[in-house]
Amino acid sequence: MSKIEVKNVFKIFGTNPDSVLPMVKEGASKEEILEKTGHTVGLDNVSLSIEEGETFVCMGLSGSGKSTLIRHLNRLIDPTDGDIIVDGTNVMELSDQQLIEFRKHEMSMVFQRFGLFPHKTVLENVGYGLEIQGKEVEERKKLAMAQIESVGLQGFEDQYPSQLSGGMQQRVGLARALATNPQILLMDEAFSALDPLIRSDMQSQLIELQAKLKKTIVFITHDLDESLRLGDHIGILNGGRLVQAGTPEEIIMNPADDYVEAFVKDVNRAKVLRAKTVMVKVNEFDSKNLKLADVFKVDEGSYIEQFLPKVLADRCTIQVVDKMGDIKGYITEKELAVSLSKDAHNIR
In this predicted structure, what is the pLDDT of residue 104? Answer: 85
Is residue 172 within a helix (H) or strand (E), and if so which, with residue range? helix 166-179
Edge-to-edge strand ranges of the sheet holding 4-13 = 40-50, 4-13, 81-86, 89-90
Residues of the chain whose pLDDT is less than 50?
344-348
In this predicted structure, what is the pLDDT of residue 345? Answer: 44
In this predicted structure, what is the pLDDT of residue 312? Answer: 80
In this predicted structure, what is the pLDDT of residue 292? Answer: 59
Question: Considering only CA atoms, which of 208, 215, 193, 245 is closest in space to residue 66?
Answer: 245
Q: Please name each of the domains of the chain with its CATH number.
A: 4-106+182-267 (3.40.50.300), 271-340 (3.90.1280.20)
Q: What are phi and psi of 129, to 5 degrees?
A: -65, -35
* 71-103 confidence digits (pLDDT tens): 999 999 999 999 999 999 999 999 999 999 898
268/189 Cα distance (integer angstroms): 23
304-314 vs 333-340: helix crossing angle, rounded to 10: 130
* 247-270 confidence digits (pLDDT tens): 998 998 889 999 998 888 888 888
Helix (H, G, I), strand (E, B) or coil at 171: helix
Q: What are phi and psi of 59, to 5 degrees?
A: -135, 165
Read off the pTM. Answer: 0.84
Helix (H, G, I), strand (E, B) or coil at 243: strand
- H runs (alpha helix) in 231-293: 248-253, 258-264, 275-278
Question: Considering only CA atoms, which of 217, 197, 219 is closest in space to residue 4?
Answer: 217
In this predicted structure, what is the pLDDT of residue 156? Answer: 94
Question: What would you measure as the largest C-alpha separation in the chain, in angstroms?
Answer: 72
Residue 287 CA: distances (Å) to CA of 182, 292, 299, 330: 51, 10, 19, 9
